[in-house]
Amino acid sequence: MNGLSTENESNNMYPATGLQSEKSFKPDFKLNRSLPENLKFLEELSWNFYWSWRPSAVNLFRDLDPQLWDEVEQNPRQLLRKIGGLRLWQRANDADYVRALNNFESEFRDYISQPAAEIVGISMDRPVAYFCAEYGVHNSLPIYSGGLGILSGDHLKSASDMNAPLVAVGLFYRYGYFRQSIGHDGWQEERYQNSFDQNLALKPVLDDEGERVLVSITMRGREVFAQVWLAQVGRISLYLLDTNVQKNNDVDRFITGHLYGGDVDTRVVQEKILGIGGVKLLRKLGIKPSVFHLNEGHSAFLTLELAREFLAENPQADFNDAIANVRSQCVFTTHTPVSAGNDVFSPELIEACFDQSFIEDLRIEKNELFALGRVNPDDENEAFGMTPFALRMTRTANGVSKKHGEVSRELWNEMFPEASVDDVPITHITNGVHAPTWIAPAFQDLFSQHIGENWKDVANDWESWKSAVEAISDSEVWRSHKLLKSLLISFIRQRTFSTDTGTQDTIHEHDDTNRLFDPGVLTIGFARRVAAYKRWNLLMSDLERLLKMVDDENRPVQFVFAGKAHPQDRNGKVLLQNLMALDNNSQWQRRAVFIEDYDQEVARYLVQGVDVWMNVPRRPMEASGTSGQKAAMNGGLNLSILDGWWIEGDNGINGFSIGDLDDPDISQEEIDARDAEALYNVLETQVIPDFYELDENGLPSKWIGRMKNAIATLTPQFSSDRMLRDYFSSIYKQD
């Protein structure tokens, strides 16, 4: 099937479409109600995701109606629309509440009124344009699937906090990514929700006449239009393209329907909308970026639009001149450690996507276009890879951890035949996470008390931060952690409670949750995509040995799992089903749970509440990983294979390492067996004994020492603030 006939929506995992009413093309997401005068600021605040990383602002929404807040899944606009009048007027009459709201209003106005800073010579008149296919800003904007999206969301939040000159471009997926539930039989089921039914914090982007800005992109032999939404992420504008426009035919309307729906025909046109449409949009808005950041290869087609523009302005120039010009403006971040992990398109797909006149505008033949996406340009059997293409069209490329930089240099060495592996021009910037988003309010509060309200700035100076954290008393750190652990356990009990459990309790649903989990028991979290390289099986490889730990009378262990399998990944679903079905004459049913629908909200409870965060990927497949960084900032100890970021993070105290760094020349089965042995061994001889060892005051002081060391050493090094500074000083900066 080629791109000209993409009736891909017949895939029955998608909801039926039907023709949409006029209204569904033009939702304005208005509240259609007015708030009491002294609460009006809440509506303004709900338009800016800044609230989501300020605990006091989260509380302002939650305290309006805590039960409704959970029902609307922490969507403030939905809350403001649905909340009953009595609740609203009670708050409007609550002096403490109104005072807190007014205080936050001052903070907010102060924050957003500051003009963008100039950083390494880059300022808002020539900003950085950040392109990514997904953004995980907050659950109430469901346009992310996992790690890449969370990373780009954190990138924007740190950019906002440092007042960086940056604008962001992405796609608005009307049905987002799937929501997961697990049936009684343990089989994963997928659901898609129409986000247009929600009150999203998205504003339509309008032109001077008040009409919607539309960009048009030619593909599959016709013009496709995309409208634009604006999400405000603190001081950062995030523009989202959306082809659900009445002018488009039914198929084209669904180009931006789903995130990672799984077929390449849709994927390639989505990427054209993102890349080509994104550049056209910036031009329409009068934004003239000095740097285009391709965060992963999905947006790499933008380089062709830049080339087309250059050639249109320079009639004498040829395509090589254009490449030189484009390269000087573009930087690329790669995120996977395998070539097959990146998008690869057949020549037919590329051809359907880029018609002859576009290729003529580039002053090349279509074979030359195909060659741009090949590792070996002369190999006509090679398909078009977005990573080789991006590497060719950008001035710098980087992986997302030191190890991933090495792996990428090796992986793409063939493209640079004259270079030795070490000289392949791919560097690295290690990923980080946004501390205010991921550190629990209980710990932020502790830091404010002991380090100061500006604790986040203190973290920029690693030494000062370390001594300040080490100075906090053990008992206070432990108390905060225990609070969060109890919160996690009540969350687990609520999420797994089921009044309709079918025949028996499974680890994703229980009818009696009171006996589930114990706050005194060592709690290990394992939440990740159900992909083969994450090795969900490793922990179960010796069931007897595992259950011996779980059942131990004095020093038991409990496990919380979460993660989605890709809708088309049968093996992954079988694996999950086996995990659900694991039943046994042991305490397993009571000490293991699976939380459905892993997302940003679930992740927060987990990384903030567990004692240990486990990660057992097959090396070197974890390009970076970020969830362990979130856990560490909350005093969680990583128990991880030495891969990705953990190679840089581990110091022997701030967590536990499994296996070593050698790459022995043995089979995959043997490596798995060795790693499983090492995992059990570390659990039995280090993790469990350390956790249960109490000092004369009844505190696990050795463990708390490790927790403090994790917070002290890992928070500054793996914050997205550090990551942003690195991007500015070594990637965005012009020579």
Ligand X SMILES: *Cc1c(COP(=O)(O)O)cnc(C)c1O
User: Least distance from C-beta 290 to ligand X, angstroms?
Assistant: 30
Does position 719 bind ligand X by CB under 6 A?
Answer: no
What's the gap between Cα 158 and its chain centre? Answer: 14
Burial of 303 (0-12, 13-18, 19+ CB in 10 A): buried
From the list 213-221, 289-297, 515-523, 627-635, the region that binds ligand X by CB under 6 A is: 627-635
From the list 80-88, 543-551, 626-634, 670-678, the region that binds ligand X by CB under 6 A is: 626-634
CB 437 within 8 A of CB 155: no
User: Least distance from C-beta 386 to ligand X, angstroms?
Assistant: 20
Q: In the complex with ligand X, which residue's Cβ is closer, 291 or 642?
A: 642
User: Least distance from C-beta 559 to ligand X, angstroms?
Assistant: 16
**Which of 252, 292, 253 is CA-nearest to residue 275?**
292
Burial of 124 (0-12, 13-18, 19+ CB in 10 A): middle
User: Least distance from C-beta 126 to ligand X, angstroms?
Assistant: 32
Interatomic CA distance for residues 683 and 536, integer angstroms: 16
Q: In the complex with ligand X, which residue's Cβ is closer, 384 or 491?
A: 491
Interatomic CA distance for residues 14 and 32, integer angstroms: 31
CB 29 within 8 A of CB 199: yes
Alpha helices in 114-229 (DSSP H): 147-161
Q: What are the distances in angstroms from CA 564 to CA 527, 576, 599, 600, 607?
A: 9, 9, 9, 13, 17
Q: Can you say whether the dihedral through the CA atoms of 289, 291, 293, 294 is positive or negative?
A: positive
Does position 632 bind ligand X by CB under 6 A?
Answer: no
Interatomic CA distance for residues 623 and 401, integer angstroms: 7
From the list 9-17, 578-586, 624-632, 724-732, the region that binds ligand X by CB under 6 A is: 624-632
Q: In the complex with ligand X, which residue's Cβ is closer, 137 or 226?
A: 137
Q: In the complex with ligand X, which residue's Cβ is closer, 466 or 604?
A: 604
Does position 625 bind ligand X by CB under 6 A?
Answer: yes
User: Least distance from C-beta 598 to ligand X, angstroms?
Assistant: 6
Q: In the complex with ligand X, which residue's Cβ is closer, 559 or 598?
A: 598
* DSSP-assigned states of every residue in 661-688: S---S--HHHHHHHHHHHHHHHIIIIIH
Q: Which of 227, 627, 638, 720 forms a contact with ligand X (CB under 6 A)?
A: 627
User: Least distance from C-beta 629 to ligand X, angstroms?
Assistant: 8
**Around 624, how many Cα atoms within 13 Å sit in the side-chain half-sphere?**
25
Q: Which pairing describes strands 222-233 and 214-219: parallel, antiparallel, or unpaired?
A: antiparallel
User: Least distance from C-beta 363 to ligand X, angstroms?
Assistant: 42
User: Least distance from C-beta 610 to ligand X, angstroms?
Assistant: 13
User: Least distance from C-beta 358 to ligand X, angstroms?
Assistant: 36
Within 533-552, the residues that bind ligand X by CB under 6 A are: none
Q: Can you say whether the dihedral through the CA atoms of 723, 724, 727, 728 is positive or negative?
A: negative
Interatomic CA distance for residues 101 and 38, integer angstroms: 9
Q: In the complex with ligand X, which residue's Cβ is closer, 137 or 217?
A: 137
Interatomic CA distance for residues 30 and 284, integer angstroms: 25
User: Least distance from C-beta 69 to ligand X, angstroms?
Assistant: 20
User: Least distance from C-beta 637 to ligand X, angstroms?
Assistant: 15
Q: In the complex with ligand X, which residue's Cβ is closer, 153 or 716?
A: 153
Interatomic CA distance for residues 588 and 549, integer angstroms: 10
The answer for residues whose C-beta is within 8 angstroms of residue 613's C-beta and 6 or more apart is: 524, 525, 526, 607, 627, 628, 631, 632, 636, 637, 638, 639, 640
* Beta strands per DSSP E along 413-509: 427-428
Interatomic CA distance for residues 31 and 79, integer angstroms: 10
User: Least distance from C-beta 394 to ligand X, angstroms?
Assistant: 24
Q: In the complex with ligand X, which residue's Cβ is closer, 234 or 563?
A: 563
Q: Which of 603, 633, 679, 731 forms a contact with ligand X (CB under 6 A)?
A: 603
Q: In the complex with ligand X, which residue's Cβ is closer, 373 or 649?
A: 649
Q: In the complex with ligand X, which residue's Cβ is closer, 176 or 625?
A: 625
User: Least distance from C-beta 726 to ligand X, angstroms?
Assistant: 19
Interatomic CA distance for residues 715 and 704, integer angstroms: 16
User: Least distance from C-beta 725 to ligand X, angstroms?
Assistant: 21
Within 583-602, the residues that bind ligand X by CB under 6 A are: 598-600
Q: What are the distances in angstroms from CA 30 to CA 47, 78, 209?
A: 11, 10, 20
Q: Is the peptide bond before 620 cis (omega within 30 degrees of 0)?
A: yes
Does position 626 bind ligand X by CB under 6 A?
Answer: yes
Q: In the complex with ligand X, which residue's Cβ is closer, 163 or 336?
A: 336
Q: In the complex with ligand X, which residue's Cβ is closer, 188 or 396?
A: 188
Could you count the other beta carbons within 10 Å of the beta carbon of residue 214?
A: 18
Interatomic CA distance for residues 70 and 727, integer angstroms: 37
Instruction: Build a one-symbol-per-residue string for 500-529: x at contacts with ligand X by CB under 6 A, - elsewhere.
Output: ----------------------------x-
Within 48-87, the residues that bind ligand X by CB under 6 A are: none
Binding-site size, ligand X (CB under 6 A) = 13
Q: In the complex with ligand X, which residue's Cβ is closer, 186 or 628?
A: 628
Within 115-174, the residues that bind ligand X by CB under 6 A are: 146-147, 150
Q: In the complex with ligand X, which residue's Cβ is closer, 242 or 599?
A: 599
| Token pair listed for 445 | 């509060």
Interatomic CA distance for residues 735 and 732, integer angstroms: 9
Q: In the complex with ligand X, which residue's Cβ is closer, 83 or 151?
A: 151
Q: Can you say whether the dihedral through the CA atoms of 593, 595, 600, 604 is positive or negative?
A: negative
Q: In the complex with ligand X, which residue's Cβ is closer, 147 or 278?
A: 147
Interatomic CA distance for residues 1 and 346, integer angstroms: 11
Q: What is the largest CA-CA distance in the chain?
A: 82
Within 269-298, the residues that bind ligand X by CB under 6 A are: none
User: Least distance from C-beta 664 to ligand X, angstroms?
Assistant: 25
User: Least distance from C-beta 14 to ligand X, angstroms?
Assistant: 22
Give the residues across from 428 on adjacent strands.
399
Which parts of this chain interact with ligand X (CB under 6 A)? 146-147, 150, 528, 598-600, 603, 625-628, 630
